[in-house]
Structure formats: C-alpha cells, structure tokens
Amino acid sequence: MSISAHAPNPRLLRNVTDFSLVLGGPLFQMLRRAHLSDNQLHLVGQRIAVIALFCWLPLLILAGIDGNLLHGKLAVPFLYDFEAHGRFLVVVPLLIIAELVVHLRMRELVAQFQERQLIPPGAIARFEAALASAMRLRNSTVAELALIGVVYSLGVQLIWRQYTALDASTWYSIASGEGTSLTLAGYWFGYISLPVFQFLLLRWYFRLFIWMRFLWQVSRIELALSPIHPDRLGGLGFLSGTAYAFMPLLLAHGALLAGNLANRILYLGATLPSFKFEIITLLVVMLAMVLGPLLVFAPQLAQAKRNGLLEYGALAQRYVREFDTKWMRGATPQGESLLGSTDIQSLSDLNNSLRIVAEMRFAPITRDTLMRLTVAVLAPLAPLVLTMMPLEELVKRLITVIF
C-alpha cells in the first residue's frame, strides 16, 4: 500500500467536518429548544447546573423532609453519602464535559483521513457511507428510547436494587425484617435521578459503539498507507489522539467507582484491598473500550509493513549493489570525489527508511497513551488510600521512598 496523489474531495471534506459523535439525537434537540445548548455544544455550565441540580437538589430537600440528612440511626444519611454526591455532582458534570471534548477533538481527528489523503478516490463513496451511517445511528430516536427502556427495566429494577444499593438503612431506603422500603427521597432517587444518570452513562456506551462500528467500516477500505511514514503507523498515528478525547469519560468512571467504594469502606467496614478485583476490572474494561476499536487497523498495518519490507528491501538491494560496483569495484567516474557524495547521503536516507518500516507498529497505541489513560481511571480512587493509613504516615512513606 502506498500513498496515491489525488486532490481532496470538497464534498467529502464537508461531510468529515460535520462528523460528531455527540452532536445529535432527541435529547440534544430538546436541550437546544430549552436554550441549554447550541449547535456547537456551548453553554456547558448551564447544562451541568440544570441536569446535576435536577438530580441532586430534590434529594437534598426530600431527605430533609424525611429527616434523613444527618439522622444518627441510619447507616448512611444523605449528607454523608459519598456515592450520591459523587454521582450527581462529579460524574454527571464530567459526562457532560466529555461531550464537548469529544465533539471538538474527534471532528479534527476524523478529518485527517481526508487531509492525509488516506482514502483512495475509488473508496470515497464507501467512506462517505460510513460517515452517514454513523450520524444516522447517532440521531436515532429509536436508540434513545431503547436506552430509556433498558434503564427502567434493568438499570433500576435489577442492577441498582440487587447489586449496587447498600444492604443497610440509608436515606433512600429503610431496612426492616420484611425487607426494604423507599423513603420520599428514595422514590425520586430510584425513579428520576438514577434513571437520568444511567441514561447519560448508557448513551456514552452507545456512542462508543458507534465509534467502534465506524472505525471497523473504515478499516474494511484499503487505505493508502505509507510504510515509511515517520509516525511508524503508515500515516494513522493521529488516531492515538482519539484516546485522549475520552479522558473525561474515564475520569467519570473512576469517580463513580470511588464513591461506591467509599460508602462500603466507611459505613460497612470493608477495606480497599478487598476491592482490587473491581478496580482492575474497571481499568481493563475502560482501556478496552477506548483503545480496543483502534485494533481494527492492525491487519492493514501488518500488511503495509510486510509490503514495505519487501519493496524497500528490494530497492536497498539494488542500490547497495550499484553503490558497491561504483565505489568499491573501480567503476568510479574520473574526477568524482567520495567526500560529500550524494550517493552516501542517499544510502543513509535509504537506511533510515528501512529502519522506519522495520519499526512499524500494528496499532496506534503507545506506552504513554496507556499510562495516561490508566492515571485517568485510577486518580479518583487515590483518596481512598487514606482509609488504609493516616495522611501523615503516607507522606512519611513517600518521603522515604523518594529520598
């Protein structure tokens, strides 16, 4: 595979710059009509304030009416529920901020397929079809209604009640010998606040599915890759930047787990090491969701590397044979000096090209990318280390390690 010279297609360029994973769908249109968003996803502060307070403020008021703000008989009164405050005052804002970040960065990155002329002229129609399909799915009313159905059928009735709700008396449910009963705040939490949160979260998973599907369709196109591109990825190095666009989403998931674990550690007597499986699982799943879609280009990159090694290896063989004949076998033209010869410079350039081909990677994933994304997931969990040892002791140990 090699880069073919062709002029950019203006129509395709317009379609690429219109691409967005988040700029569409019934909820987006509703927010526009409510003047909480515009066509470029501005007004982020207003959206955060309205959505976060819609979920959290009624809980504060109703918990006060129930007398569960600071009730000593409860295992978890409202004002001490780290999971609830983290979910609605930290995670929800991060999910909303992630929309703007992904919208701005992903549009620029997807446009690189056109600007770098990676799409051959004969495959432009297929690339346009992949773009159009992704945007139709993003705008689907049926998809968002299905997400709402999943939230109320599985998210609230099964997952929350059976697996995430604390098995103790809290501000949202009172445990008794006959089971648990919801408080006033619990009804708002279970049937309004929590579904809104779960919908926002599921919609992000749906967007990641759209992104994965789009990349898979593009990977079915025979791209015009260059095995000697300096990025060691045939020209696809820009795709590694897509991982950083999802960092607010990874932070949100880390904060969500941190709130959940904080409640269990502080109020149910659990310890942080007992949740190492949950922490590792979250890290692996989030890295797979963000980086996994990039692996669809591995077959093309591997083929480009094989072709590059064969083609540039053959070119090098011809060149070094002619170089040897000219400079070592007595065929040097009279009066031509070896010092400063362009032949030696060309041999060096050819050697560099072969080195680039040999160092080609099969996926736009680097160690730096893995480290940054790992930090994004685990950073919100760092304060929980203080549940294992006092801050003073932790600082002393760090100083001992460093110095």
What pLDDT does 269 receive?
80
What pLDDT does 75 receive?
78
Please count the CA atoms within 13 angstroms of the CA of 356 that sit on its side-chain side.
19
What pLDDT does 336 receive?
56
Which of 294, 303, 293, 299 is closest to 226 using CA atoms? 303
What pLDDT does 332 receive?
57
What pLDDT does 5 receive?
45
Instruction: Supply 368's token pair.
Output: 């730096």
Task: Determine, yes or no, domain membership for 64.
Answer: yes
Task: Determine, yes or no, domain membership for 316.
Answer: no
Round to whole Å and give the CA distance between 76 and 68.
9
Taking the CA atoms of residue 316, residue 318, residue 320 and residue 322 in that order, the dihedral angle to the nearest 10 degrees is -150
Mean pLDDT of 15-27: 78
More confident residue, 24 or 349: 24
Task: Determine, yes or no, domain membership for 253.
Answer: yes
The contacts of residue 235 (CB under 8 Å, 6+ apart) are: 3, 116, 118, 224, 225, 226, 229
Alpha helix stretches (DSSP H) within 18-88? 26-33, 44-66, 82-86
369-379 residues labelled b (16+ CB within 10 A) or e (exposed)? beeebeebbbe
More confident residue, 85 or 173: 85
- Please tell me which of 23-37, 115-129, 205-219 the model is most confident about, judged by mean pLDDT: 205-219
Q: What is the mean pLDDT of the chain?
A: 82
Taking each helix axis as running N to C, give the angle between helix 44-66 and helix 92-115, from 0 to 180 degrees, rounded to the nearest 10: 160
Total tally of structural domains belonging to the chain: 1
| pLDDT value at 377 more than 90 | yes
Task: Determine, yes or no, domain membership for 345.
Answer: no
Instruction: Supply 134's token pair.
Output: 């992704």
Q: SS3 for 238?
A: helix
Task: Determine, yes or no, domain membership for 291.
Answer: yes
More confident residue, 331 or 246: 246
Mean pLDDT of 135-140: 90
> What are 179's strand-pairing partners?
176
More confident residue, 279 or 159: 279
Task: Indicate the DSSP class of residue 3.
Answer: -
Round to whole Å and give the CA distance between 118 and 222.
9
Round to whole Å and give the CA distance between 370 and 143.
31
Round to whole Å and give the CA distance between 189 and 262.
19
* Residues 109, 112, 118, 120, CA torsion sign: positive
Q: Please state the separation of Cα 174 from the chain's center in Å.
A: 38
Q: Using a pLDDT cut of 70, give the percent of the chain over it.
A: 78
Task: Determine, yes or no, domain membership for 334.
Answer: no
What pLDDT does 3 receive?
43
| pLDDT value at 403 more than 60 | no
pLDDT bracket for residue 178 (50, 70, 90): low
The contacts of residue 211 (CB under 8 Å, 6+ apart) are: 21, 106, 134, 242, 293
Least confident piece of the model among 40-44, 203-207, 275-279, 285-289:
40-44
Query: In this predicted model, what pLDDT tens digit does every residue of 333-375 receive, in sequence order?
Result: 555 555 445 555 666 666 777 788 788 888 888 888 899 999 9
What pLDDT does 314 receive?
79
What pLDDT does 395 receive?
57
Task: Determine, yes or no, domain membership for 335.
Answer: no
Round to whole Å and give the CA distance between 280 and 13.
41
What pLDDT does 164 receive?
52
| pLDDT value at 91 more than 90 | yes
What pLDDT does 271 receive?
86
Which of 214, 1, 28, 193 is closest to 109 using CA atoms? 214
Domain of 62 in residue numbering reads as 10-303+363-402
| pLDDT value at 157 more than 70 | no
What pLDDT does 163 receive?
45
pLDDT bracket for residue 264 (50, 70, 90): confident
Strands (E), 345-387: none
| pLDDT value at 71 more than 80 | no
Mean pLDDT of 387-402: 62
More confident residue, 310 or 179: 310
Mean pLDDT of 305-313: 83
Mean pLDDT of 130-149: 91
More confident residue, 343 or 68: 68
What pLDDT does 137 receive?
92
120-138 residues labelled b (16+ CB within 10 A) or e (exposed)? beebbebbbebbeebbebb
| pLDDT value at 2 more than 50 | no
Q: What does pTM read for this prediction?
A: 0.84
What pLDDT does 319 receive?
66
pLDDT bracket for residue 1 (50, 70, 90): very low
What pLDDT does 380 receive?
93
| pLDDT value at 302 more than 50 | yes
Mean pLDDT of 73-93: 89
